[in-house]
Structure 1
């Protein structure tokens, strides 16, 4: 049985695919923010100015907690021929130092994303986010909905107090994940204190987020507003890190959002089953916006 289980994608944690060579990037560097925060980022694929001139929003892939942007290597390779790809390391993660401000909030983390978009004069973005990066994206969507063309929101929480932390901590892959992430963080941050880094985020998770439908009341509704973002709330059929009811609750927060349960995968589909994940993200990117110049049918009650 043990040998058979090794073939189950959702219990595997494949190696980090890593970023493409720096020579293939349009940009790899940092932007400096207040309080000495430095945001490392990379831009790949179709040149940014080409996409902006065509009115085609770049794709911003946002990684999960204690992880880094190298885990989106498969996606960069897949989408780069037809899209501008932006990845960045969340504050304190990967190659992005905390700076002097270690009292985190999700407003601050979504402000970091706003600063990155403003730095490159990007009016709208397609958010493709996972786990902690997804929480940042939900915050960004609630505060800056006009900057979001569409959002793929995969495996997030609206209140960490509603998760069973003790149960999750016993999942074998969770232990492997945090062990590997500590090693990779220290490789990217030699001489720095991993305990201080993780402590800052644990402190955040004890306080935020605390969201409900009211949080997202200013997000325009698809089919009712021309500028409304397309929102997909995404989970996986074997994602045992997040309580299943969480994603349906998120979907209820934004009227006319969509729900997707990816098959045969778990909390890290982008490395566990990248072929399935990439094709579904591609379908999401081709989900058309309604033509608001035509009369919209209203469902009868």
Structure 2
């Protein structure tokens, strides 16, 4: 055993040197890649992923070379085949984990989904607090935290409500049929212009959209800040301004109404009269039958 140890001692020393060089080379490559990614303003989670991948790849290569030096009987082909079978088995066992991992890489590589964005994906709605390599943390409006697998965000459509600083808001208002339409449109437009939360640099519109059952409906379109709190505030301000403007102009916002018709053909026939007529017809039939007899 001692003679065998001394015979393999040079190979062990070379293997240790290879592992030390692997450690140094891995750190150098990590430092270079990290510096380049930080200059490119890549997300921190993606930088951490790149660092971990560089460490894993460097150690796999270093250990493989060291094993070939210590065990000369092991061929590179056998080692590659063994790694291939192992990776296939691990892939089948952790396919969901790898799916979330790859989806996280894609999401982190996107520029559209950022921390602080308000998103809506199927039944998930809230503000993005953190994006990790396998999951995304979304804070709902009621304060609850939802941990969403990245594959869920990757497979389903995601609506990013705060992608732009502005978002269009709308409000439908009905006026009475006796109202002059041009006067109503002018009053609604003035109400929009008087609101501070309405962005004056974007297009503001008031359009007639339908003749409803009880009212002529106008749709108000304007732009405001895209944050949900700002959207609620601008809707509230515009609603108050519209009501005040219509009241000042003497324009009524009608409630649902029903029209009663008193035309002769619309008057129902009394049930007693129908029964009397039916009884009279039966008596005449009976009289006719007696005559025939």
Report the TM-score, using the length of structure 2 for normalisation.
0.18
Q: Report which of the two structures shows the higher radius of gyration computed on alpha carbons.
A: 2
Give the helix-richer structure, 1 or 2: 2
